Amino acid sequence: MTIRNLLNAALLGLVGVAGLTGCDVPLQDYYELRGLDPLKGVAYDPGPQVFYTTSLVGGEIEMVTSLGRQYLFHRIDDPQITLHGAALDAARRRLWVCAVDRDDIASPGHGWLLGFDVEERRLEVRVDLRELHQGEVTETACEAVDVADDGVVYAVDPSQPVVYRYDPGANRGSILARDDAFAPTGAGGRGLGGVAVHPGGEHLIVARTDPPALFVIPLDEPHAAREVSFADDPLGRPGDPRFPAAGGLTFVGEDLYVVFLGAVQRVRFTDAEGLRTARVATTTAVPSGLAMATSADGAAYALDGDAFKVEVLGQRAEVPFSLVRVDPSVFAD
């Protein structure tokens, strides 16, 4: 363990996660993040006003306070593990993280859903996603995750056309939905890349990366997924290098934010009941290394960690990384 990790552990042992900030501090518009390893996932804890970021390599989860201070939350000492999307269950004090285990870059992936006790900073739950297929597949992955108000966790797999469901109360995982429309397209393609529980609690929204598309899954009829239609501008911009694939999703109120490499699109559904149609607004006034976003104190914060550049495009990460507030005023309707 490094000197920094020892200091972090000592500090957190004394104050705990909830004691990292003593009072409400307005979130900054921009946080510069230290570190050299590309970052993939982000989640927000509204009580102590703490962001969690996950590292694509190195197995680290870090915390970023509202003042911009960074602390190590947890490290998985396994060089084969990559960490992806994250979501916080604030009511139950549990952080959910997607992970993938690979022997090498050419081997099939092995997807996991990991649950951490936030206060103890301890890994408590490991869900083997391959087991949910009952031996039908050899490759699984876990790209993004979200949590419903009842504590049920949903995760998406970019290598298989499925959405996973895990009920912590029953300690039971299952495949919520399977649909060929979720599948990767073309050689080396990636399927689902984002997931978000609608604020109404009755629907799940998932994003296919390429070609970009959104699907609505009624939770009471999960096999009846349907693609969202856009009235004017489409989701994504074909041929624009800032829009190579749709990534993470997050709701801020009723507005859905869809993250691309160098852009964010705001989706507003035009039929509140069925969520079948929507309009999109776009901003490119964001950094060029985005992958995921989270809702924090009534705003969307996007993570610029260059994970997509490294993982998919094979490019080098460019530091420093950052967390940036996506101001609603920057969208071109």
Query: What does the pLDDT look like over 104-163, one tens digit per residue?
Result: 655 779 999 999 999 999 999 999 999 999 988 999 999 999 999 999 999 999 999 999
Of residues 80, 67, 100, 72, the one with CA closest to residue 13: 72
pTM: 0.93
Compare 3 and 288 and report the one with higher pLDDT.
Answer: 288
Q: Which residues lie closer than 8 Å to 102 by C-beta, 6 or more apart?
A: 80, 82, 108, 109, 110
Cα separations (Å) of 35 from 60, 70, 86, 87, 166?
A: 11, 10, 19, 21, 32
**How far is the C-alpha of 80 from the C-alpha of 68, rounded, in Å?**
30
Rg (CA), the chain: 18
Does pLDDT of 10 surpass 60?
no
Q: Average of pLDDT values for 253-269? A: 97
Does pLDDT of 22 surpass 90?
no
Does pLDDT of 14 surpass 80?
no
Look at residue 201 and give its three-state secondary structure. Answer: coil
pLDDT confidence of residue 19? 61
pLDDT confidence of residue 108? 78
- Average pLDDT of the chain is 91
**How far is the C-alpha of 190 from the C-alpha of 141, rounded, in Å?**
11
Which pLDDT band, with edges at 50, 70 and 90, does 3 fall under? Answer: very low
pLDDT in tens, 196-242: 999 999 999 999 999 999 999 999 999 999 999 998 899 999 899 99
pLDDT in tens, 90-105: 999 999 999 999 876 5
Angle at 149 between CA 71 and CA 113, to 5 degrees: 55
Compare 115 and 8 and report the one with higher pLDDT.
Answer: 115
Alpha carbons within 13 A on the beta-carbon side of 99: 26
Look at residue 104 and give its three-state secondary structure. Answer: coil
pLDDT confidence of residue 190? 81
Q: Average of pLDDT values for 273-279? A: 91
- The two tokens of residue 249 are 């999703």
pLDDT in tens, 104-117: 655 779 999 999 99
Which pLDDT band, with edges at 50, 70 and 90, does 194 fall under? Answer: very high
